[in-house]
Structure 1
Amino acid sequence: MNRFTKCGESQTDSARVPAAPHPLTQAAGQWQRQARQIRQARAENLPVSAVRDAASGSALPASEETPPLPRPLPGDPKGHHSGWRDEERPGDGGRSGFASFRQAAQDELRAWRRPSRRQACSVPPAQEEPALSDRRLNKAIAEAGYCSRRKADELIFAGRVSVNGEVETHAGRRIGPEDSVSVDGKPISRTQQMLCLMLNKPVQVVSTAADPQGRQTVLSLVARDHPGIRLFPVGRLDYFSEGLILLTNDGRLAQRLMHPRHHLPKHYEVLVRDVVTQKALQTMRSGMCLAEGEVLLPVEVTARSTASGCTLLRMILRQGVNRQIRRMCRDLGLTILRLRRVAIGPLQLGKLAPGQCRPLEESELAALRRAVELSQGLA
C-alpha cells in the first residue's frame, strides 16, 4: 500500500462504486429539469408538449404538461430565482402541480434521511405468541412421560414419530390438543398428571435421574409408588447428605425453583464435632471467601451444644454454591458428622421418615408457587 494513501482509502479509487441515489432524489431532479425545459421553451415560443426528459424519455403527465410560467415578485425586476413564484391555479390551493409534487418529494426525502425521534425510538410490536395449548412436538412427547426431550429429538429424526398418521421429522413442529402423536405406531397419551413430591433423601443415595456407577438414585425410591410418571429432582443433595428434596414433572415450577432470581432460603441442621468458637460463627455471619476464591453471602447460623460434646448448627443459606456448607466447615477446621436439610422456603420436612415421600398438599403447593412468583395453576 502506498504510504501516502489516506486512512480508510482504497488503493484503487477507480474500483469504487458510487452509492446509488435515492429514488426520490432522482424524481426531484427529473422534475426540476423538466421545469427548466418548459420555461426555456415558452421563452422561445416553442410547443410545451414536445418537451421530453433527456434521461428517461418520458413525457410529462397530461395534467402537468402546461404549468404556468413563474412571474417576478414586486421589487424584483430582474426575475432572480429567489424572487419568483409559481402562478396560482384555481382549485389547487395556491400551488401548481409541479410545486406540489416538489414539496411532497422534498418532505418525503427529508423524512427518509432524518427519521423522527419518535419513529427511531418506537418499539416494534411484539409478535403474537402461540397459544398455550400448542406445544412443540419434542416437548409434548417429553411431557407425556414417554422419554426426555433429547431422546424425543432422536426418535423424531429417526422417523419413528407420526402426527395424525404421517411421519414427522421436525422436532420443532407445533401440535395442538386435537393432534394425535404416535411413537413406533403406538399412540401416546398427551395428558399427564402434574405431580410434586417431597422426599426425605437418605444418605448414600444419588440425587440425580441416573447414575453411571449404578448407585441408587432418588427416582428409584419413588418409582414403585408412582409408575408411568416421569419425575426429575429439583436441585441436589450430596451423596452423604440427607433431608428434603423435591421431585416433580412440572418443568415451569422446577425452572423457577432452580433459577437464581427465585432462589428460596434453605434450612439445614449440621452436627459438627467439638465446640464451635464465636470467631467461626462470626465469620459465617459476615460472609467468607472459600479457599477456591468464591465469595459467599452472609449465612444465618445459630449454635447449640449437645450432651455428647458436639455442636448442632442451624444454618439458612440463600445462594446455590456447590457443596457450600461442607467447604465452609472445611476452611474453618470443622468436622461434619451429619448434614440434613429440613426446609426449602415455605416447605418443612417435618416427621417424614428417611426414604419416604409424599405429594405436596394444596396449601403447600400454593405457597411454593407464590414464593417463586408463579401464580398460575399446574398446566
Structure 2
Amino acid sequence: MTDTTFAEDHGPLLARAREELWRAVSDRDEHAAGRAVFDALDAGADAEDVLLEVIAAVQRRVGLEWAANRFTVAQEHAATAIHDRIIAAMAHRGPPADTPGTAGSVTVACVDGEWHALPARLLAEVLRHRGHRVDFLGAQVPTPHLIAHLHQTSPDAVALSSSIPARLPVAHTAISAVRAIDIPVLVGGAAFGADGRYARLLGADAWAPDARAAAGLLARGLPRPSPGSTRQAVEDLPHLLDQEYTLVLRSKRQLVKNVLAGLEDRLPAMRGYTEAQRERTAEDVAHIVDFLTCALYTDDSRLFTDFLDWTCDVLEARRVPARVLDPGLALLREELKDFPRALGFLARGRATLDERDARPLPPGPEHTA
C-alpha cells in the first residue's frame, strides 16, 4: 500500500485507532489497547499501517510525554510492554504469509547494550508481512553471540538497531564483525543520526530512517561486502590513533568518582543528598562521560552537544535550570586537561549551556526527581 492510498483510504480509521490506543496506554488498560488495534484491523486497516501509523506513532508520543515530565519512567515502560504484547498477538492472529521467505532472509537485532527493542521488533514484523524469513533476536545481543548465530543461519542481510548514540562504538564492532563474514549490514535507529551520518562513518552497507525505508532497501537487495572491504576500526577512524577515546573510556569509573567528589566540595547542598539522589547524580555524570567518550570515538562534537541540549530540555521540563550541568563539565575539564579533543568538546558543551541561559524555563510541574 502506498502512502497516498493509506492517506485516502484509511487515514480516518487509523487516526481513530491512534487516539483510542493512546487513551488505553495512558490508562495502562491492555484490553482496551488490544481492542483499539484489532478493531482497526477488523475494519480493513493494513497490518503494516497499524504497526507503523498506530503503534509506533503512539510509542513516539509516549516518549515525548516522558521527556516533557508528563509520564513517569514506569508509565513509559508499561506502555512499551503493552505495545510489545499487542505486536506479538498480531503476529499470531492470522495465517502466515503465503510465501514466507521468498523475499529473502534477514536477522534483526539490537546492538549490545541497547535495550530499546520495540523499533527492531516493528521492523521484524514489517519484513515478515512482506515475505521475508526473519530471525528477531531482540534487545542487547552480544556481538560474539550474533556472529555465532549468523554462522549457523547464513541470512541474506542483517538489520541492526540502536537508539542510544553512546552505543555507537559497540555498533561499529558489530558492523565490522558481520561484514567480515561477508553479510551486508543495514542499520537504523536514532543512534545513527537523523541523516544516517554515523552509519556511513562506521561502515554500514545501508541506513534507513524508518521501517518502510528499510524494507524497501532490503527488497532491492544489499550487495555482499566485497573481499578485503572490511577494515579495522583505526583505519575507519584514524583520529583514534591519539588514544584519547581509549584512555577516557578506561578511566570512566575514576572520572565519575572524581567529579562527584568535586561536586560535593563546590556544592555543599550535595552533602545533604539522600542515597537515591546521590545515585541519580552519579548516573547523570556517567551519562555525560559516556557521550563525551562516544564523541571522541566519532570525532563529532555534535554527538556530545546534542546530548547536552536534549538533557537540558528534560531538566527544564522538570523545572531544573540547564546551568546545573555546568559544574560537572568544569570538573571534567580539569580532569581531562591533557586531552585536547576532549577539552574542545567540553568547551562546545559549555557553550551550549551558555546559549540556553537567556531562555525562560517552560511552564510545568515542579521538579520531582
TM-score norm. by structure 2 comes to 0.21
Which one has a larger percent helix, Structure 1 or Structure 2? 2
Larger Cα-atom Rg: 1
